[in-house]
Copies of this chain bind each other. A is one copy, B any other.
Amino acid sequence: MEKFVYMFSEGKASMRNLLGGKGANLAEMTGLGLPVPRGFTVSTEACMRYYQDGETISTAIEDEIFQTLEKAERIIGKKFGDVDDPLLVSVRSGARASMPGMMDTILNLGLNDTVVQGLAKLTDNERFAYDSYRRFIAMFSDVVMEVPKDKFEAVLDEVKEETGASLDTDLDANAMKEVVRRFKKLYEDIKGIPFPQEPREQLIEAIKAVFRSWNNERAIIYRRMNDIPASWGTAVNVQEMVYGNMGETSGTGVAFTRNPSTGEKKLYGEFLMNAQGEDVVAGIRTPQTIDHLNDVMPDVYEQFCQIADKLEQHYKDMQDMEFTIERGRLFMLQTRNGKRTAAAAMKIAVDLVAEGMNTKKEALLKIDPKQLDALLHPTFEPKALKSAASIARGLPASPGAAGGQVYFNAKDAAEAAVRGEKVILVRLETSPEDIEGMNASQGILTGRGGMTSHAAVVARGMGKCCVSGCSELMINEKGRFFTTKDGQRINEGDFLSLDGTTGSVYSGLLPTTDASLSGDFATIMAWADEERKLKIRTNADTARDAAKAVELGAEGIGLCRTEHMFFEKDRIFAFRQMIVAENEAKRRAALEKILPMQRDDFVSLFEVMRGMPVTIRLLDPPLHEFLPQADQEIKELAQELDLSFEALRDIIFSLHEINPMMGHRGCRLAVTYPEIAEMQTRAIIEAAIAVNHNGMSVIPEIMVPLICDAAELRFVKSIITKTADEIIKEAGVDLTYTVGTMIEIPRAALTADEIAEAAEVFSFGTNDLTQMTYGLSRDDAGRILDTYYSRKIFESDPTARLDLAGVGKLMRIATDLGRQARPHIKLGICGEHGGDPASITFCHELGFDYVSCSPFRVPIARLAAAQAALADDTHLGQK
């Protein structure tokens, strides 16, 4: 028979998936002989069964719960509902992953009208008994029966007013009895039935409520933000109550074995005497720091210090503990690996290795790669953040904190920056035309587009803060203002602050703290580099970005998008001449002008990369992105180009596409205008020859985008090799170069065997591949995704988190087929997922050669790649 309920004495820490984190650690502490109030855990599998059974608990599981309860009663020596010595319990959720405050808790369960009298007698404390009862009624009603908490608070306030009490603690036993009476009446008025008096009924209803809470809105949002699957479910812990509010020898507190902000090795925490956990949270009285416990109850402090030490040694990690002292006796209510800042994580990891508690490998596995972001970008000062009110929230598209004056178009932003202003660029959406303005801004805010919209991708590449897809704002670019959903209006020139790590938008200018990298960071990165198998490259389009990435540990460029180079002022004109040219000869003439500039770009890039591999992608975006859309700008450009306004407008109109993402772009440009690919190849090869002449040894990798058919690649490759081989021959030098292809269209993945015959490298462009596999345009997904989250259809944005079931399946098909045709084909990823730890693990599993990500994600990728490699060992060990 399946087992769904476990006594704490039956579990252990490794049973976390089944018992949840809290339950597993309670079991582990019980096993270690630590003072843990006794109880049992209803497993996560029972939770999933509850949902499978249409949100009911089966009779079998209910029976098992009561059988285990009886076992607990025998051990504890108290009975549920016993008037003389009643067993009272807490009922708490506990999922596999820590989800602090996300789910519901019920205390003092087991109380009823008669038991409360027994409790009063037993504790010789009538006020305590009725205080406990009224807390139970309110919690149970709120959590289990959905009677709003504030209704009970209103009743409590009434009684306080009537009795002239200002604090809850001013209420005496009689007042508490009155509160209980009125609470029960309130319950009955709303629910139409009396408050349940049967403890077993209370218990089952409470367990159901915890199961239900797994799917409440804040749990869903938290899961989405933290990539926790809905299928995990939560366990429920039923535990004997202990009371920190039984007088001055009772108390409750929380503590960390090390400082979670700095990592300093010193017990860190606070406690409050004569209080329950919720009182600490309520913040009415100010708790004392943990070391003062030594003054109040030195024996208990000593015992706690020993336990803390034992737990840290046992778990080999910094612990976050909750405890209660009941009448001088210490009880441990929880321990878990403590959350910590990125800086603390670095220090603790290095210290634990130095102390011999962890090996380097163990230390590496304990750091969350995503946390590193915080080390690399400025953040708002925590104090300032406390008093600031967020006026809107969008997607956390590119981390960091920034403030400045608002401008609504790239030109104005750039001009304001020249005047010395700090600028926040606000746009409905950005396009490649906006690059200069984005570059001039401190941060970017857009009304549309997801985590991989143009704004998001470019901002991450620049290491610039960006909040995207803030659809609740009404942005009026022409009118140069936006309004929030509360009607607040922000005009051009007003100050605004953006938190790209959380997606929050603040009005006014919040002070920021700069990023700083400690020596511990370098130590951790060095350890990571020893372990990882994947090479880490970067997506960089400029020498500056490339230099930053190299500083952060990049070992090559996995994606240089050449189109960004065309937007710079000195070359956009020649590029536009090329686009409007009515024949090949004129097009070639315009390309001639661009050639030396593009060659110089590559020279600088190669010089920065000093012989490391550099993958350069041929022109990708549709040509219309390079032309203006507004009449006034068209007029100006027409004059410059010596065309009539109508003629230029017609050209622009003729380039218009209904679905540009699936239109005339990528290698399709090279097929229709081979001269562009020729020019780019020439620039790459000539730059490589020039740089190698100066003593380097660059091996350029030319990457053909948007291939959907092998014949297409063969055609473009023939242009590249013909051009390159001629130049190399003329120069009389030895130069090796490779030609690879992006795999970013589903059909390329499905026919990867044919394609691999012409491609030396596959670089998975998972941005486009995800969009096409889902049939979902990242630029249009914003509104849709919001609904999909709220309807529980999607748990996360597929353009931000690699979809293994669909896109991952295609990647596996392509990898297998590609290797069939070319066993040692080089494999990499250059989509945004290249910087996502879970995706990096997947790439490691597929045996990729490298991942490529934006410069600021390189450290994250280094660590994630190391963790993926270490996971292999772990799996090996488990087999």
**Interface residues, chain A, CB within 8 Å of chain B?**
429, 657-664, 668, 671-672, 706, 708-709, 711-712, 715, 744-747, 750-751, 754, 768, 771-777, 779-781, 783-784, 787-788, 791-794, 803, 805-807, 809-810
- Closest Cβ–Cβ distance, residue A789 to chain B (whole Å): 11
CB-based nearest B residue for A795:
B711
Q: Is the CB of B784 within 8 A of A668?
A: yes
One complex includes copies of this chain to the number of: 2
- Closest Cβ–Cβ distance, residue A842 to chain B (whole Å): 15
Q: Is the CB of B750 within 8 A of A805?
A: yes
- Closest Cβ–Cβ distance, residue A337 to chain B (whole Å): 32
Given contacts A658-B779, A773-B750, A775-B747, contact A664 B810 (CB under 8 A): no
Q: Is the CB of B711 within 8 A of A794?
A: yes
Contacts of A784 in B (CB 8 A): 663-664, 668, 671-672
Q: Is the CB of B776 within 8 A of A662?
A: yes
In the assembled complex, 21 residue pairs joining A and B whose CB atoms fall closer than 8 Å, in A order, are A657-B780, A658-B660, A658-B777, A661-B777, A662-B662, A662-B771, A662-B777, A664-B783, A671-B793, A708-B806, A715-B791, A746-B772, A746-B775, A746-B810, A747-B773, A750-B773, A750-B806, A750-B809, A750-B810, A751-B809, A772-B775
Contacts of A744 in B (CB 8 A): 775
With A659-B777, A751-B806, A754-B805 given, can you name 14 additional A-B contacts, CB distance below 8 Å?
A429-B658, A657-B779, A658-B660, A662-B771, A663-B781, A664-B783, A708-B774, A711-B792, A711-B794, A712-B788, A712-B793, A746-B773, A747-B805, A747-B807
Contacts of A787 in B (CB 8 A): 671-672
Contacts of A706 in B (CB 8 A): 775
CB-based nearest B residue for A454:
B658
- Closest Cβ–Cβ distance, residue A765 to chain B (whole Å): 11
Contacts of A664 in B (CB 8 A): 780, 783-784
- Closest Cβ–Cβ distance, residue A703 to chain B (whole Å): 16
CB-based nearest B residue for A709:
B793
CB-based nearest B residue for A771:
B662
Q: Is the CB of A708 within 8 A of B776?
A: yes
Contacts of A780 in B (CB 8 A): 657-660, 662-664
Chain B CB count within 10 A is highest, among A658, A661, A771, A779, for: A658
4 closest Cβ contacts across the A-B interface? A659-B777, A747-B806, A662-B777, A663-B780
CA distance A803 to B711 in the complex (A): 14
Contact of A747 among B661, B709, B803 (CB under 8 A): B803
CA distance A776 to B660 in the complex (A): 9
Contacts of A809 in B (CB 8 A): 750-751
Contacts of A657 in B (CB 8 A): 777, 779-780
Contacts of A658 in B (CB 8 A): 429, 660-661, 777, 779-780
Q: Is the CB of B671 within 8 A of A805?
A: no
Contacts of A771 in B (CB 8 A): 662
CA distance A777 to B791 in the complex (A): 30
Contacts of A788 in B (CB 8 A): 671, 712
Contacts of A768 in B (CB 8 A): 775
CA distance A708 to B806 in the complex (A): 9
Q: Is the CB of B747 within 8 A of A793?
A: no
CA distance A708 to B807 in the complex (A): 11
CB-based nearest B residue for A810:
B750
- Closest Cβ–Cβ distance, residue A150 to chain B (whole Å): 27
Chain B CB count within 10 A is highest, among A659, A668, A784, A806, for: A659
CB-based nearest B residue for A669:
B784
Contacts of A715 in B (CB 8 A): 791-793
CA distance A799 to B791 in the complex (A): 34
Q: Is the CB of A746 within 8 A of B671?
A: no
CA distance A262 to B502 in the complex (A): 77
Contacts of A792 in B (CB 8 A): 711, 715
CB-based nearest B residue for A663:
B780
Contacts of A712 in B (CB 8 A): 788, 793
Given contacts A671-B791, A793-B711, contact A777 B747 (CB under 8 A): no
Q: Is the CB of A774 within 8 A of B794?
A: no
- Closest Cβ–Cβ distance, residue A717 to chain B (whole Å): 12
Contacts of A754 in B (CB 8 A): 805
CA distance A771 to B661 in the complex (A): 11
CB-based nearest B residue for A708:
B774
CA distance A715 to B777 in the complex (A): 21
Contacts of A663 in B (CB 8 A): 776-777, 780-781, 784
CA distance A293 to B160 in the complex (A): 125
CA distance A497 to B781 in the complex (A): 43
